[in-house]
Chain A
């Protein structure tokens, strides 16, 4: 246990205690609900707490355990970014537009986690429709970083990052179109996986840009993400991007050692393209040393500039997001947040030829990135240039003007995991990003897990 009682258990730890009947799902759920009641007023991580349903699900899990059922997620409390549709539970996308939206069906991912026996605690804050930044002109305030509540959580899975880091949920689901799982994972000091496109169903998740959208797990450790992915991954014939693949046990795969693995250090990303702070540079040096200590061969890798991936990703996101929201933007424009309008309206002016040029360049970038993996098993880089900025430092056009390191993996259609790579002198977490070739989700989780074990950074939680 990382200290502080049941809310601070990892999923793996809680699962073992529940299976051994040393922890009851009802007791664990009550502890989580009590912590949410005590702390979330400062964090705004939850838009809705489904207390009654959570306790009912916890009792169901308890009865199942008493009847002999076992499973790594049985009785584990989780929460969902509020773009995941949940049957009978309001799903707003953190927007006035959907303030009264109550879906009749669960997203496929929610259905899978329910089937695995998880307990839904509620719905989590996001940027409006999963794009933009923290907005103060919406019915719900933006989430705040539990390491320093004056600071940004990263987004758009902002509530997911804050809730997991603060011990308000053992796991959460986020979505990632340009970095929306991995940025909050980095700023909040947790693990978050953007899987290979097609591995996890997106059916029932409110889309942002369908050609780049992915759904994935966020949790305290890479191992916990692997446990969640075991339940989430799999073919869904009703998601057109879903791919039928061989069954994989991600939780088992993370246990294998890393000796002999070829790790590419993408130095140009953080020394030239998006220069990192001195603490980020030190963190990368330490991370490389840790991986060498685990038997990896770490050498410099060369990829196209981050700016190229970003130009492609931003144009695709703007065009597709505008197309999805055009009707509502025309009829209810003033009801959206200013940051959403700034980020999405420009999509109305993107020509079809420019959108297609972006898609064609994306195909090149996918191939160029795939070639790098002929020399390396995984690539590492920081997901951000520094620790979480202050909320007051965020500008509505940040998504355009500042390239994101994380967008590389979305455009390249590869899996990417962020784990906690270190801390600043002031105690803010710094992320480490691990990217692998398409379908190497198990490998990036394995590198993340082994790194976490060796680095010993998982014993430290926010003091909130």
Chain B
């Protein structure tokens, strides 16, 4: 995107400048006011050179990313068969469905590597009864494992 030439500098009258300064809460003597007018003409030119006409969808550019939440530790970690998890009534009856959830949870990519590790194929998330039992056992074992300590600092 080409910038507008910096020579297009908006002009500003002394009265307009006084309004801006009052709005900013500044009290300037005449010399300081003259310096500010000099600087403002330069800054206004720079602002005019920045393209403004962007799509609204581009506002994603200003979002920020929180770090992933820390492991809450064994005491706060929900059990594998926690009632807090949304489980359909039909699924609650069969261990294969619970195992399927465990398998899906495992396949879900973390926030940090979402683009690097796409989710596994859907077929794989519906395991057979044998693999479901194994997955259940694995999920239970994982729940007993102490939380992994954060990587130590480099120096």
Contact = CB atoms under 8 A, between A and B. Distances in A.
A122 interface: no
Give the interface centre of A235, A349, A350 by most chain B CB atoms within 10 Å. A349
B61 A400 contact: no
Question: Do most interface residues of chain A lie in helix, strand or loop, or is the interface mixed?
Answer: helix
Interface in A216-239: 231, 233-235
A35 interface: no
A235 B24 CA distance: 38
Contact of A357 (B27, B38, B42, B52): B52
Interface in A305-357: 305, 307-308, 310-312, 314-315, 318, 329-330, 333, 338, 341-343, 345-350, 354, 356-357
Interface stretch (B87-95, B101-109, B136-144, B147-155): B147-155
Give the interface centre of B6, B45, B151 by most chain A CB atoms within 10 Å. B6
B114 interface: no
B61 to A, nearest CB: 4
A2 interface: no
B155 A314 contact: no
Contacts of A357: 47, 50-52, 54
A144 B55 CA distance: 48
Contacts of B61: 359-360, 363-364
Contact of B20 (A307, A329, A349, A401): A349
Contacts of B42: 346, 397, 400-401
A348 B35 contact: no
B43 A235 contact: no
A315 B50 contact: yes
Contacts of A28: none
Contacts, number: 108
A343 B47 CA distance: 15
A361 interface: yes
A284 to B, nearest CB: 25
Contact of B47 (A247, A333, A350, A397): A350
How extensive is the interface on chain B, given as a class? 20 to 34
Contacts of B25: 330
A308 B1 CA distance: 10
Give the interface centre of A311, A312, A397 by most chain B CB atoms within 10 Å. A311
Contacts of B3: 305, 307-308, 311
Contact of A235 (B36, B39, B51, B154): B154
A378 B60 CA distance: 29
A234 B49 contact: no
A170 to B, nearest CB: 21
A396 interface: yes
B26 A342 contact: no
A314 B38 contact: no
Contact of B43 (A234, A318, A356): A318
A115 B155 CA distance: 10
A96 interface: no
A183 B17 CA distance: 34
Nearest to B34: A342
B12 to A, nearest CB: 9
Interface residues of A, number: 43
A338 B25 CA distance: 19
B6 A329 contact: no
Contacts of B58: 360
B50 A354 contact: yes
B62 A360 contact: yes
Contacts of B35: 338, 341-342, 345, 396
Contacts of B155: 112, 115, 231, 233-234
A357 to B, nearest CB: 5
B154 A345 contact: no
A310 B39 contact: no
Contacts of A346: 36, 39-40, 42-43
A235 B151 CA distance: 11
B32 interface: yes
A345 B36 contact: yes
Interface string A354-379: 10111111011000000000000000
Contact of A314 (B32, B46, B54): B46
Question: Across chains A and B, which 9 residue pairs bring their CB atoms closest together, nearest first?
Answer: A400-B42, A363-B61, A348-B24, A346-B39, A234-B154, A311-B49, A311-B46, A346-B43, A234-B155
Interface of B: 1, 3, 6, 20-21, 24-28, 32, 35-36, 38-40, 42-43, 45-47, 49-52, 54, 58-59, 61-62, 151, 153-155
Given A308-B3, A315-B43, A400-B45, 19 more contacts: A231-B155, A233-B155, A333-B28, A333-B32, A341-B35, A342-B36, A342-B39, A345-B28, A345-B39, A346-B40, A348-B24, A348-B26, A349-B21, A356-B62, A357-B50, A358-B50, A361-B51, A397-B42, A400-B46
7 contacts: A330-B25, A333-B27, A341-B32, A342-B39, A345-B26, A345-B35, A400-B39
Interface of A: 112, 115, 231, 233-235, 244, 247, 305, 307-308, 310-312, 314-315, 318, 329-330, 333, 338, 341-343, 345-350, 354, 356-361, 363-364, 396-397, 400-401
